[in-house]
Amino acid sequence: MICILLVAGHGTVLEAQIQNDDTGLYSHLSGVPKALLPGTGGKKILDFWWETVNMRQLFTEVYLVTNADKFKHFERWATANDFPVENVVNDGSTTLENRLGAVADLELVVRSRGLQDDIMVIAGDMLCADQNFDIAQVIRFFRSKPGELMIYYELEESESSSSRGMVEVCPDTHRISRFLEKPRPGLTASRLASVVFYCIRKETLPHMCDYLSLQPRASDRSFGRFWEWLINEKQQDVFGMKLPTGFQLIGQVSLSDYTKWLTHYSCKQQNKPAKPITCRSYARVGLMGNPSDGFHGKTIAMSISNFWAEVTLVESQTLVLLPHPLNDPTEFGSLQDLFCISRKEGYLGGLRLLQATCKKFYQFCSKQGIALTKQNFTLKYDTNIPRQVVRSRCLMKFYNITDQDLPKPIRANFILNVETEELFITAGLQDRVVQVYEGLVYMDFSRELMEQQGYGHYVPLDMSRLPSLWLAYLSDPSDSGRIHSNIRQRWLSGEQEVVEAMKTFAQLTDQARAALQDGDWPRLAQLMDQNFDLLSGPRKPEDGGAGESGSAVKLPGSGGAVVGLCLDQDKLVSLKYLSFQQAGCVFCVLSPYNPSAQGSNVPP
C-alpha cells in the first residue's frame, strides 16, 4: 500500500491573518505552510502524520504533494525529518486561483509516479484530537471490505454539519449510503463527518480521470464533490470507519478558528483521564420466566445492590490485567493449601473474564469499523458476588465508544458472547440484558424477534413500589450452567414436556408483568410459586409455599439459591432466623437497584 499526504492547499485566509496580526504573537509563523504550523503535543501538524505513516511494514512508499509556492519549505522539512526528498511532488500551482484541486493533485502523483497499488490519502494539514489511533487497524478494516474506505467522526456539539462532508452509514454493512458535501440545515440528520482520510483501491484510481474530465473548474475538484459523484451517482461501494476522536482541516479557516481548535484539542490531551475509571455492575435475580430466556421465552429480572462487581481501569505504559488476591490466587501457604482451594473453587476466577472481554472488545470494534486509539491500561477488579461474574463499561469510557457505537441490546449480546464463545460457559441472555439496562426489566426473546433483529424486546418496568424480596443461597453454590445444559439438550431434541414448559414460562411472565404494573403482590407471589413448581416439580405440603409460610419462592437463575417474596414481615424474620439458618444458608433482604433514582450514576 502507498500513502499520499496532501499539503498543496493555498491557505490565503489564515496566512493573511497571521501576517496582519498586530499582537506579534504569531509573527514567527508568517509565511509558514499550514501543515508546518504547530499542532497538538508540541509537534508540527505534519510531523504527527509522518510519524503515523512512517511504517515500512504498512506502506511501501509515502509521497507528499505540495504547491510551487511552498515547495522549498517542505523540501527542507523532508531533509530534517528523514522523509525521502525525491517523494515530495510539486503540483506547479502558485496561487489559489491557479490551483489544481485535491483530486487532480492525487491523480498527478498516481500518473507521474506510475503508481499501481492501493492508496491511503491523508490531508497533512489536519489537526487531530487524539494522536494515538491505530492506523494498522484502519488498513485491516479496508482489506476486509469490497470497496473504498472513508474515515469519519462524530461532530462535537459546537460543530455545524453545513461546514463538513456528511455521511450516512448503514450500521449493519458499514456501507456509506449517501454523501453530502456541506449540506444545508435539515437535509440530513447525520452527525457523522467525513475527513480527508481515505483508502482507495487501485481498481478505482481510473475513476479519478473520468471525474476530472467532467469537472474543468478547480473548485469542483474537491474530494467532497468527488465522493458525492462516486457514491450518489455512480453507486460505488464505499465503506465508513469511525475514529472516536475529532479532526479539523485548517485549509481555509481563520486565525481565531485555528487557535481555538488547537487549544481545544491540546486541553483534551492534557485532561485525559490519568485518574482511574471505575465502573460497578450489580448482581441480578430472575423474578419470573427463567430459564426460558435461552429457549425463545420471556423473563423478568431485577438488578440488586446487595452484590456487585467493580472494575477499575487506569492508563499505563503496557496493558496489565491484575489478578484478584482471593479469586485468582497465585500464592499459596502450601501444596495442600493449593489442593484444597483448587478442589473447592476450581480454576475459574475473574481474570479470564477480563482477558476474554478485552479480546472480544477489540474484535468487535475492528469488525464494526471503529478504530481504537493505541492506549494501554491496567485493569483490576473486586467483587462480593458469590462465584463472581465481572462486567464493565470501562473499556467503552476509556476509548470514547458511545451508546450509538455499541447500543444496549447489542452490548448484552456482546457480553454473552464473551462467556459462550470465548470461555464456553453455559449462560443465558437474560442476565446480560439486566446487567446492561439495570433496574427491573421485562424481556421477550421470541424466535421471530431474535431471528429478525438479533435481540429481543426489552422494557424497563417501574420498581418504585416493589414489596420486600429476600434471597437465600448456599455458601458453596452449584453451577447453574450445568443444570441448564440438560434442559437445553431436551429442548433441542424437541421433548414435548420441555417445549410446553417454556411456553408456560412465557405466559407466567406476561401475567407477572401485569401483576407488577397493578401492584397485585399476592398474584405475583402465586406466579413465582408456579414458576418454581414448573421448573422443580410440585412441592409437598410440608415444603410450604405462598399459602403455607407466607413467602413465595423461585429459583433466581444461580445454582444453590432461591429468591422469595414475603408479604408478612413477621414471617420474614422467622424465615431468616429459623428455616435458613438451620439449613446452613446465607440469608439477606434484597435491595433493588433502581438506576432512575441514581442521578448521574453511569452504569457499568
DSSP 575: I
Q: Yes or no: say if 193 and 178 are a contact pair by the CB < 8 Å rule.
A: no
Give the three cell numbers for residue 135.
492506523
CB count in 10 Å sphere of residue 360: 18
Closest Cα to residue 460, out of 513, 519, 539, 497? 513
Cell numbers found for residue 82: 528523514
Within 8 A by CB and 6+ apart from 158, the residues are none
Helix (H, G, I), strand (E, B) or coil at 392: coil
Burial of 210 (0-12, 13-18, 19+ CB in 10 A): exposed
Contact by Cβ (8 Å): 148, 223: no
Helix or strand holding residue 194 (H, E): strand 192-200
Percentages (nearest 5) of helix, strand, coil residues in the chain: 40, 25, 40
CA distance linking residue 288 with residue 295, whole number of Å: 14
Task: Establish whether 444 is a catalytic residue.
Answer: no
Q: Please, what's the b/e burial string for 370-384 (b: 16 or more CB within 10 A of its CB; e: otherwise)?
A: bbbbeeebbbbbbbe
Question: Minimal CA–CA distance to 279: which of 383, 359, 370?
Answer: 383
Strand pairing class (440-444; 457-461): antiparallel
Concatenated DSSP letters for 257-305?
HHHHHHHHHHHHHHTS--SPEEEEEEEEEEEESTTGGGGT-EEEEEEEE
Most distant CA pair in the chain, distance: 97
CA angle, residues 223, 132, 264, in degrees to nearest 5: 75
Distance CA 411, CA 432 (A): 8
Cα radius of gyration (the chain): 30
**Distance set, CA 319 to CA 51, 264, 359, 381 (Å):** 22, 28, 12, 15
CB of 66 closer than 8 Å to CB of 89? yes
> CA-CA distance, 472 to 468, in Å (whole number)?
14
452 sits in which H/E element? helix 447-453
Residue whose C-alpha cell is 481498481: 203
What distance in Å separates the CA atoms of residue 475 and residue 262, rounded to the nearest whole number?
57
Closest CA to 359 of 419, 311, 289: 419
Question: Which candidate, 164, 163, 120, places its Cα nearest to that of 142?
Answer: 120
Catalytic member of 431, 444, 462, 570: 431
SS3 581: helix
- Distance, CA of 200 to chain centre: 26
For 94, half-sphere exposure in the C-beta direction (CA atoms, 13 angstrom radius) is: 0
Q: Catalytic site residues?
A: 431
